[in-house]
Amino acid sequence: MNCDDIQNALYVYLDGEFAELEARDFERHVDACARCTKLMVREGRFLEAVRDAAPQDPAPAGLRDRLALAIDNAPSPLPATLPVAPRPRGWAFALAAAALVLVAVGLSVGTTASAENTVIDESVATHQKSLPMEVRGSHRNVSDFLQQNVPFAVDLPTFQDPTARLVGARLTRVHGREAVLLNYEVDGERMSVIQLAAETSVDDAEPAVQSKRGFDVWTFKRKGVLNSFVGRDARSVRRLVRAAYRR
């Protein structure tokens, strides 16, 4: 390391974010360099002084009680209970679909295979329902709506493709979990994108496809969000999946 490296990495060092080895490298230079030693003392003292002096104002006296009351009055946080037994028609459908799919393409999305199948089934069902959107219009509107209503960042796909247009979004449930349904219009056809937070923060998973009830269902995982794309036109859906995954 040279003086510039020290300059650039000084906070990483002071914040204790260096690995042991890098820290030793860092110290070796600083110990031997009077200029950097001064720099570090200066920066360290300053940072410490800011931390010491920055006021930590206590919350107003009644806030805790007001919060407790607001939470008492809030609806139950339990996921609304879905009917446990699938309705007969849906069940028959699922069986038929399962029989048709001979090979489930490897979906290493960090959930069990049956959970993935549930997600895929429910994605198709959701797509087929043509649910009304809760918010329509621009990317901005939709992303504001999502940020307000979903606690974590939804990975709203954007496409350079002029044939793909975001129509709107609504909250939904997939596999008993909070999910977001996004509708796009692609060459005049409706495409659904369903997103839910992945169960664990494992790595991204590449897009994989299955066909269900005449739809291609693509799933992939990106930034901790499980994505499922459903549409009729296999080619354009595949193109958009690629674009969304690589973004």
Count of beta carbons in the 10 Å neighbourhood of residue 221: 22
Residue window 36-65: x/- pattern of binding to Zn ion, with contact defined by CB under 5 A: x-----------------------------
Residue 179, token pair as written in the block: 């999910």
Select 147 or 189, whichever has its Cβ closest to other proteins.
Answer: 147
Those residues with Cβ within 8 angstroms of residue 123's Cβ, 6 or more apart along the chain or in another chain: 174, 192, 194, 217, 228, 230
* Torsion of the alpha carbons at 96, 98, 101 and 102, rounded to the nearest 10: -110
175: left (phi over 0), alpha (psi -120 to 50) or beta: left
Select 98 or 202, whichever has its Cβ closest to other proteins.
Answer: 202
Q: At its nearest, how many Å lie between Zn ion and the CB of residue 2?
A: 7
Binding stretches for other proteins (CB under 8 A): 8, 11-12, 14-17, 27, 30, 34-35, 37-42, 44-60, 63-64, 66-68, 70-72, 74-81, 83-84, 144, 147-148, 151-153, 177-178, 197, 223
Q: At its nearest, how many Å lie between other proteins and the CB of residue 241?
A: 22
Q: At its nearest, how many Å lie between other proteins and the CB of residue 209?
A: 28
Contact 1/25 with Cβ under 8 angstroms? yes
Which residue's structure tokens are 């664990």? 200
Strands (E), the chain: 135-136, 164-174, 177-186, 189-197, 205-212, 215-222, 225-231
Partner whose binding site includes residue 3, from Zn ion, other proteins, none (CB under 5 to 8 Å by kind): Zn ion
Select 75 or 188, whichever has its Cβ closest to other proteins.
Answer: 75
Among 1, 9, 14, 33, binds Zn ion (CB under 5 A): 33
Q: At its nearest, how many Å lie between other proteins and the CB of residue 9?
A: 9
Kindly indicate which of the ranges 33-41, 101-109, 115-123, 128-136 contains the residues binding Zn ion, using the contact rule CB under 5 A. Answer: 33-41
Query: Distance between CA atoms of 217 and 117, rounded to whole angstroms?
Result: 11
Which residue's structure tokens are 């200029």? 35
Count of beta carbons in the 10 Å neighbourhood of residue 52: 7
Query: Does residue 164 belong to the site contacting Zn ion (CB under 5 A)?
Result: no
Residue 84, token pair as written in the block: 């446990």
Select 5 or 17, whichever has its Cβ closest to other proteins.
Answer: 17
Select 18 or 93, whichever has its Cβ closest to Zn ion.
Answer: 18
